[in-house]
Amino acid sequence: MDGKEKVKFKIKQMDQILLRALLKHIDMLLKNIDPHEQRIGTLRDKLQSQDFEVGLSELELISRLRNGCKVECYPEVERIDDGLHKKNVLDALAAIKESEILIEIITPEMMPELRYVGVASVPNRLASKVWYEFEEQIKNMVPPRDVLIFVDKSRSEITYDSALDYMQGPLKFVFRFDKQTGKDIDYYSMRDENESMHEMNPPMDIILGILIYDRVLGRDLKYHLRGRFIENPAVSREKRLIAEKVTSIFLG
């Protein structure tokens, strides 16, 4: 076996390992799913179509939360849009400690510039995706309800820092200098709260925070979820604690 054949063999071997791990991962998740429950057909259709990655994220969401929450899949909510009452379907409703939180999960793909070229100036795409979910799915809900945004970043370039920038404001450096001598006195970093989600769009404070997570293959050849919850500093401590509990159940 020459060098090229060895490389091909190793790639094929890794593909088989990843496929087996994914099948085991899905099998474990399906144990928390009743095939006859209401609206589960939506999930089944996604898993059997080109929306497989979206379906997998939603399967993870519903199944893993059921390890510690009562979860309704694809709940209907009512919202007012241009004066008209409309019904939207979200991804999940989690109930814990007499509190209910609606959850929307986003499964972004990598920017084409990065996937096919490898070089690009990367904007904070997370901000635009969360804003779109708010505008199209949860804005003007009747009555207003708490929401968590989950982001499966397994196939994208989105980072934890992008969530921090959006929730708390982008990180900036401040330099102080003596006007007479022109010499630097000191410098420090700070987050510009004026550019945070709360300051730029206060109605979005129904969003308690953003969970960014990744699907990682461990040494045990099983998939594990690794992530970080970025809270919205504008919401109450009580709500933040409930949100942290829900996200910790999901991450396990």
53 inside domain: yes
The answer to whether the bond into 143 is cis (omega within 30° of 0) is yes
Instruction: Report pLDDT digits (tens) over 117-146.
Output: 444 444 458 999 999 999 999 999 999 999
Lowest mean pLDDT among 2-6, 35-39, 102-106, 214-218: 2-6
Q: Does 91 fall in a domain?
A: yes
Query: pTM to 2 decimals?
Result: 0.87
pLDDT in tens, 196-243: 999 999 999 999 999 999 999 999 999 999 999 999 999 999 999 999
- Residue 178 placed within a domain: yes
How far is 17 from 21, CA to CA, in rounded Å? 6
Task: Give 15-52 pLDDT, tens digit per residue.
Answer: 899 999 999 999 999 999 998 888 999 999 999 999 99
Q: Residue 13 — very low, low, confident or very high, per pLDDT cuts 50/70/90? A: confident
Is pLDDT of 3 > 80?
A: no
In the chain, the number of structural domains is: 1
Query: Average model confidence (pLDDT) for the chain?
Result: 89
* CA distances for 193 relative to 58, 88, 166, 167, angstroms: 32, 31, 9, 9
Tell me if 70 is assigned to some domain: yes
- For residue 1, the model assigns a pLDDT of 62
Highest mean pLDDT among 5-9, 11-15, 24-28, 154-158: 24-28
Report residue 12 CA to chain centroid gap. 31
How far is Cα 71 from Cα 248, in angstroms, rounded to an integer?
15
- Whether 238 is covered by a domain: the verdict is yes
Helix axes 237-251, 52-65, angle to 10 degrees: 110
- What pLDDT is recorded for position 183? 76
Q: What is the dihedral of CA 103, 227, 199, 94, to 10 degrees?
A: 20
pLDDT at 114: 38
User: Is 145 among the domain residues?
Assistant: yes
Establish if 96 belongs to a structural domain.
yes
Q: What percent of the chain has pLDDT over 90?
A: 70
Q: What per-residue confidence (pLDDT) applies to 174?
A: 80
Place of tokens 């929401």: 147
Residue type, 51: D
Q: Are 114 and 157 in contact (CB under 8 A)?
A: yes
H or E stretch at 184:
strand 184-191
| Domain of residue 119, residue span | 32-251
- Does residue 18 sit within a domain? no
Helix (H/G/I), strand (E/B), else coil: 95: strand
